[in-house]
């Protein structure tokens, strides 16, 4: 057993109102630079819908993640090592900018500069990449809230699979459709195929907290990671020629603060906590034969932080004491493991993702309420969960590789909680048979309720700070920032050794002498 600690996230989809605040604050913090105009480390997509980049879930096309060979070993779907090297010169499976969207801005200046005349000046759209006039026909969240879904929604790869494999048709007519929002960041996988795809070895998983980063000084722009990630959460900065990705806001997290997307989430639906897992068994768990076993296998990897043996092994592995206690209080572990509410996104990619989702019950409640029945009644809801093939099967395609049982369990538990707590709130005698029907007792329902409905900041985010022995350094964070490295926000490049600067010939405009062009004499070096 090799115990490692991982910072993981759970999102409660029922609470997401699709406001995109998380996306915008994330973008303002990390990707508001030239070269990353099209990049959203955090994006919120309407499901059913194509997602971002378009149809990223269609791995027949994009070749992300791992596949299990007939011999039971794991292989990158895009091909093994030799294949990767042979396709370095032109990656056959790379999305183009139009698969994301061509970023654009507007000629705002003409609004002010236009000569006096009778016409009202307009701000015409222009490409943010070439400056040429464009007519946007796709953009971030083009199909938000099912907009244009009679046209675009049918292209959802998950719906397509339901249609082809199960013969399930989905209606896009108003009043018969369903939808929910899916906020996505990098999954900081336990078995990251992006890392495995990087020929330079520039991508790595941090041992201390499991955050997956790109070393900006080692990345050589071979752009294989973009293909490797099945969630398409590594992006190519076309200005710097390097890969960038969600950093789990490590400079914040190191100081014990939640990520920007969590901090600003309007629905307060994100949870961050520590999960201990057994690194020795990751490959084994990721290679189970039946895709339906991937979710249980990943559950099994996560270690019980209260088990004395686990604690001992964790201490031996050098995990600091406050990380172990954080794991014991981890809201993420409870939602994933104790209550079995949260589920992984697309476990069938075999990357062992670590951002999990509590599936939304709202589409079911809405459907029940729409038929004139009490949408909060436990028995109505139980019945509806089972009889509504959509969205349960749709959710199962997203979260459990198509196995409806765990999704149904999670939804039934959520329904039981609603019904039970409503009785409590209305001062009625709660029906103990309701939680019993889903394998819980009243006390556990209260625990769930506390976590899902009441949990304050400190309970939603249980984040131990980085390196206790470095408390001294941490003081500096208030005035300094560990993001202040080349290429912008904290992409994990090594810190500069004292006095040794760097200069980028590429971004140098040729005027003046960049500070670090030449080595400096002893003493005068530190800038």
DSSP string, 277-327: EEGGGHHHHHT-SSGGGHHHHHHHHB--TT-HHHHHHHHHTT--HHHHHHH
Strands 343-344 and 43-47: unpaired
Spatial separation of the C-alpha atoms in residues 7 and 354, rounded to whole Å: 8
Longest dimension (CA), the chain: 81
User: Is the CB of 44 or the CB of 219 nearer to ligand HEM?
Assistant: 219
Q: Which of 146, 170, 182, 186 binds ligand SF4 (CB under 6 A)?
A: 186
H or E segment to which residue 417 belongs: helix 404-425
Contacted by 46, from ligand SF4, other proteins, ligand HEM, none: CB < 5 to 8 Å by type: none
Among 4, 5, 12, 20, binds ligand SF4 (CB under 6 A): 20
Pair of tokens at residue 67? 């596949």
Contacts of ligand SF4 in 23-82 (CB under 6 A): 44
Query: Smaller CB distance to ligand HEM: residue 56 or 222?
Result: 222
Q: Does 82 bind other proteins (CB under 8 A)?
A: yes
Taking contact as CB under 8 A, which single stretch among the options 40-48, 397-405, 428-436, 499-507 is the one that binds other proteins? 499-507
2 counts as binding other proteins under rule CB under 8 A: no
Q: Does 358 contact ligand SF4 by CB under 6 A?
A: no
Q: Residue 163: which residues within 8 A CB-CB, separation 6 or more?
A: 169, 170
Q: Footprint of other proteins on residues 122-151 (CB under 8 A)?
A: 127-132
Name residues contacting ligand SF4, limited to 296-355 (CB under 6 A): 351
Q: Which residue in the set 18, 79, 391, 406 belongs to the binding site for ligand SF4 (CB under 6 A)?
A: 18
Closest CA to 228 of 251, 207, 203, 256: 203
Q: How many residues bind ligand HEM (CB under 6 A)?
A: 3
CA distance 463 to 274: 7
- Whether 99 and 62 have beta carbons less than 8 Å apart is answered as no
3-state secondary structure of 264: coil
Q: List Cα–Cα distances, 208 to 219, 249, 312, 466, in angstroms.
A: 22, 15, 17, 8
Of 202-221, which residues contact ligand SF4 (CB under 6 A)? 212
Query: Interacting stretch for other proteins, rule CB under 8 A, among 86-94, 366-374, 416-424, 449-457?
Result: 86-94
Q: What are phi and psi of 302, to 5 degrees?
A: -75, 130
Residue linked to tokens 């600067």: 501
- Decide which of ligand SF4, ligand HEM, other proteins, none touches 267; Cβ closer than 5 to 8 Å per partner kind: ligand SF4
Residues numbered 363-402 forming contacts with other proteins, rule: CB under 8 A? none
d(CA 92, CA 72): 26
Distance from CA of residue 88 to its chain's centroid? Answer: 27
Nearest to 213 by CA among 191, 238, 194: 194
User: Which secondary structure element, helix H or strand E, spans residue 380, and what is its range?
Assistant: helix 378-387
Judged by CB under 6 A, does residue 83 bind ligand HEM?
no
Asked if 68 touches other proteins (CB under 8 A), the answer is no
**Nearest approach, Cβ of residue 264 and ligand SF4 (Å):** 6
| Contacts (CB under 6 A) with ligand HEM, residues 461-520 | none
Binds ligand HEM by CB under 6 A, chosen from 30, 222, 382, 394: 222
* Shortest Cβ 254–ligand HEM spacing (Å): 33
Task: In angstroms, give the least distance from the CB of 130 to ligand HEM.
Answer: 16
Residue numbers at the binding site for ligand SF4 (CB under 6 A): 16-22, 44, 181, 183, 186-189, 192-194, 212, 229, 231, 233-234, 245, 265-267, 269, 351
Residues that bind ligand HEM (CB under 6 A): 88-89, 222
């Amino acid at each position: 057993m090799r115990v490692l600690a991982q910072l993981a996230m759970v999102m409660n989809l029922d609470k997401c109102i699709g406001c995109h605040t998380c996306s915008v604050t994330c973008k303002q913090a990390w990707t508001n630079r030239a070269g990353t105009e099209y990049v959203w480390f955090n994006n919120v997509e309407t499901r059913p819908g194509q997602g971002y980049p378009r149809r990223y879930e269609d791995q027949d096309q994009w070749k992300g993640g791992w596949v299990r060979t007939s011999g039971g070993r794991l292989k990158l779907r895009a091909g093994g090592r030799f294949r990767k090297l042979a396709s370095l010169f032109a990656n056959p499976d790379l999305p183009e900018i139009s698969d994301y969207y061509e970023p654009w801005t507007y000629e705002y200046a003409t609004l002010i500069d236009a000569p006096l005349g009778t016409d009202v000046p307009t701000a015409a759209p222009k490409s943010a990449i070439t400056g040429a006039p464009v007519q946007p026909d796709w953009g971030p969240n083009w199909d938000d809230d099912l907009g244009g879904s009679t046209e675009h929604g049918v292209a959802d790869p998950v719906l397509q699979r339901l249609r082809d494999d199960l013969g399930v048709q989905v209606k896009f007519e108003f009043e018969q459709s369903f939808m929910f929002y899916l906020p996505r960041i990098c999954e900081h996988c336990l078995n990251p195929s992006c890392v495995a795809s990087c020929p330079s070895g520039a991508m790595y998983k941090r041992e201390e907290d499991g955050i997956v980063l790109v070393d900006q000084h080692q990345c050589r722009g071979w752009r294989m990671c973009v293909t490797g990630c099945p969630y398409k959460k590594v992006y190519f900065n076309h200005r710097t020629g390097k890969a960038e990705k969600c950093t789990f806001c490590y400079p914040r997290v190191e100081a014990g603060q939640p990520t920007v997307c969590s901090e600003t989430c309007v629905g307060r639906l994100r949870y961050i906590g520590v999960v201990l897992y057994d690194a020795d068994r990751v490959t084994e768990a990721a290679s189970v034969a039946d895709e339906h076993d991937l979710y249980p296998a990943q559950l099994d990897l996560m270690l019980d932080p209260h088990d004395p043996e686990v604690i001992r092994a964790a201490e031996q592995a050098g995990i600091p004491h406050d990380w172990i206690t954080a794991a014991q209080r981890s809201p993420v572990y409870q939602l994933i493991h104790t209550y079995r509410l949260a589920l992984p996104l697309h476990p069938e990619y075999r990357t062992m993702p670590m951002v999990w989702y509590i599936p939304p019950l709202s589409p079911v409640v809405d459907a029940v309420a729409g038929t004139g029945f009490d949408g909060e009644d436990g028995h109505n809801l139980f019945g509806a969960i089972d009889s509504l093939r959509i969205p349960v099967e749709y959710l199962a395609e997203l979260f459990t590789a198509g196995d409806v049982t765990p999704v149904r369990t999670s939804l039934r538990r959520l329904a039981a909680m609603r019904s039970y707590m409503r009785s409590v709130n209305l001062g009625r005698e709660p029906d103990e048979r309701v939680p019993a029907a889903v394998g819980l007792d009243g006390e556990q329902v209260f625990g769930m309720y506390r976590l899902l409905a009441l949990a304050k900041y400190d309970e939603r985010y249980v984040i131990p700070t980085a390196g206790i022995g470095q408390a001294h350094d941490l003081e500096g964070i208030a005035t300094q920032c560990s993001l202040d490295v080349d290429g912008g926000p904290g992409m994990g490049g090594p810190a500069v050794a004292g006095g040794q600067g760097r200069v980028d010939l590429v971004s140098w405009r040729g005027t003046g002498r960049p500070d670090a062009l030449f080595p400096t004499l002893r003493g005068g070096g530190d800038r």
